[in-house]
């Protein structure tokens, strides 16, 4: 299971929040305004860079995502992944298998990855993230950073640092950029590359001095300096 910091980061993920709000909107109004809700999701999906879809497939995938998303939000990760034969619902895996080129299908890869991560299945989470196409802008930062976390938990620090740096620079801002640069510094330190660890910790200190990560970066620099002197 993820620690509290990981859980908080996922709950604050802009992509999760955006899609969850749309799913709630759909669940509350399906039938009466399905066309309008679908149109909103299609417009947002297009705005974040998803281009390959069939409208009919997208509408169906969006409808099917409702049950799987509800399972996920209630912490029923197995059901979120596989659905329920008893309740005649499908999970993220079936949506991925049957609607891989839709916007909802793409997001299903991300939800499936986080579900597997919550179940402690890091390899499966990594595999799902390989199939996910991160959107441009701030919506893409959380998923890329999460992918880096999975790689860290798998001990693949060389891939983790690439992904943390990618997340930091995907949408440069005063919140997610220093956070991911600091995570890159930690990952470099874990793989024994103290020079790179210092470089990225220093980036946080020099370029994002008002960030909440600055104190952490300063403490890391202190440990690195003490280690080099020892």
pLDDT digits (tens, 9 = 90+) for 167-201: 999 999 999 999 999 999 999 999 999 999 999 99
If you ran DSSP here, which 8-state letter would residue 136 be given?
S
C-alpha 194/C-alpha 36 separation (Å) is 53
pLDDT at position 53: 42
Give which of 86, 78, 123, 129 is closest to 107, Cα–Cα. Answer: 129
So where are the chain's domains? 4-154
Angle ∠(155,73,115) on CA atoms, nearest 5: 25
User: Which tens digits make up the pLDDT trace of 72-84?
Assistant: 888 999 999 999 9
Which CATH fold would you assign to the domain 4-154? 1.25.40
**pTM listed for this prediction:** 0.80
- For residue 149, the tally of other CB atoms under 10 A from its CB is 24
- Reading the block at residue 55, the tokens are 């409208």
Q: Which residues, 6 or more positions from 34, have their beta carbon under 8 angstroms from its beta carbon?
A: 26, 59, 63
């Amino acid at each position: 299971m993820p620690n509290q910091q990981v859980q908080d980061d996922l709950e604050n993920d802009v992509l999760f929040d955006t899609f969850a709000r749309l799913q709630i909107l759909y669940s509350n109004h399906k039938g009466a305004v399905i066309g309008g809700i679908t149109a909103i999701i299609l417009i947002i999906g297009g705005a974040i860079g998803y281009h390959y879809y069939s409208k009919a497939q997208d509408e169906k995938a969006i409808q099917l995502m409702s049950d799987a998303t509800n399972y996920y939000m209630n912490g029923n990760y197995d059901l979120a992944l596989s659905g329920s034969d008893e309740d005649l619902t499908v999970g993220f895996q079936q949506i991925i298998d049957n609607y891989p080129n839709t916007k909802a299908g793409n997001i299903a890869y991300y939800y499936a990855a986080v579900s597997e991560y919550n179940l402690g299945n890091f390899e499966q989470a990594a595999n799902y993230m390989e199939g996910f196409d991160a959107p441009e802008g701030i919506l893409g930062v959380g998923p890329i950073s999460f992918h880096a976390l999975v790689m860290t938990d798998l001990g693949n620090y060389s891939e983790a640092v690439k992904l943390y740096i990618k997340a930091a620079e995907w949408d440069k801002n005063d919140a997610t950029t220093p956070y991911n640069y600091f995570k890159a510094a930690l990952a470099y330190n874990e793989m024994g590359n103290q020079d790179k660890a210092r470089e990225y910790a220093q980036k946080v200190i020099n370029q994002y001095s008002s960030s909440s990560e600055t104190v952490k970066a300063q403490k890391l620099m202190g440990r690195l300096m003490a280690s080099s002197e020892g």
